[in-house]
Amino acid sequence: MNPIEIEQAPSKERLEELGVFGWSIWEKEESEFPWHYDAQETCYLLEGEVTVTPDGGESVSFKAGDLVTFPQDMSCSWKISRAVRKHYRFG
């Protein structure tokens, strides 16, 4: 099982329940880079397409409209194929 959880097209009610629209926003152009999660991150993509490959694991792809949760202590590689704009929260 992949440690990354993807919830496709969550309802507006679900997003409001989580308080997503009050979270910070992060933007990044098309790129590739390594990343390590010191804390769990939950994010909601407003724009873009991404493939994340956990070290030693299988790649997962997600896009605008997806709610994604990354586990604490995961190291991975990010490949942004379409510029990203997302709401995010750690912890």
- Rounded Cα–Cα distance for residues 34 and 13 (Å): 33
**Tens of pLDDT, residues 49-69:** 999 999 999 999 999 999 999
How many folded domains does the chain comprise? Answer: 1
pTM, entire model: 0.95
| Partners of 76 in beta bridges | 35, 54
**CATH (domain of 60):** 2.60.120.10
- Rounded Cα–Cα distance for residues 42 and 7 (Å): 11
Q: Provide the pLDDT confidence category of residue 84 given band limits of 50, 70 and 90.
A: very high
Q: Provide the pLDDT confidence category of residue 2 given band limits of 50, 70 and 90.
A: confident
- Rounded Cα–Cα distance for residues 4 and 13 (Å): 22
State which residues form the domain around 77: 5-90
The three-class DSSP label of residue 39 is coil
Residue 16's Cβ-count burial label (10 Å; 0-12, 13-18, 19+) is exposed
Average pLDDT, the chain: 97
**Tens of pLDDT, residues 13-60:** 999 999 999 999 999 999 999 999 999 999 999 999 999 999 999 999
